[in-house]
């Protein structure tokens, strides 16, 4: 789009996967707060690794990225939050993550 100088509307951006949602202006704040809340309810340790992996992936080759990902998986699988996620799933309840 940038190189072609062509503008697209929100529906086209949604269709091609450039954006995830289209929201009416009067619903934007409520939608955004709800969406942010969903992100905030995720376990913090994997969230940190995800952000770090995305950033590092911009400057590393595939082998280095896979090493970082492997470390993240091993680390995340041994956290208290992982145990809480499994327990919450078994007990059919929402998890309560502590970042540990």
pLDDT in tens, 6-23: 889 999 999 999 999 999
pLDDT in tens, 20-44: 999 999 999 999 999 999 988 889 8
Question: pTM of the predicted model, to two decimals?
Answer: 0.64
Residue 17 forms part of a structural domain: yes
Residue 100 forms part of a structural domain: no
Tell me the CB-side half-sphere exposure of residue 94, using CA atoms within 13 A: 4
53 and 82 co-located in one domain: yes
Residue 86 sits in a domain whose CATH number is 1.10.12
C-alpha to C-alpha distances, 63 to 24, 55, 69, 96, nearest whole angstrom: 43, 15, 10, 34
Residue 33 forms part of a structural domain: yes
14 and 35 co-located in one domain: yes
Residue ranges making up the domain that contains 75: 44-90
As a whole number, mean pLDDT of residues 79-91 equals 92
Which residue, among 38, 98, 45, has the nearest Cα to 74 in the 3D structure? 45
pLDDT of residue 57: 80
Q: How many distinct structural domains can be found in the chain?
A: 2
Residue 3 predicted with pLDDT over 80: no
């Amino acid at each position: 789009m940038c190189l072609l100088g062509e503008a697209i509307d929100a529906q086209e951006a949604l269709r091609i996967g450039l954006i995830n949602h289209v929201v009416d202006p009067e619903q934007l704040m409520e939608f955004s707060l709800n969406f942010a809340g969903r992100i905030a309810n995720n376990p913090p340790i994997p969230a940190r690794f995800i952000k770090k992996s995305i950033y590092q992936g911009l400057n590393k080759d595939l082998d280095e990225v896979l090493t970082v990902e492997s470390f993240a998986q091993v680390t995340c699988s041994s956290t208290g939050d992982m145990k809480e996620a499994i327990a919450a799933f078994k007990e059919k309840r929402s998890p309560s993550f502590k970042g540990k």
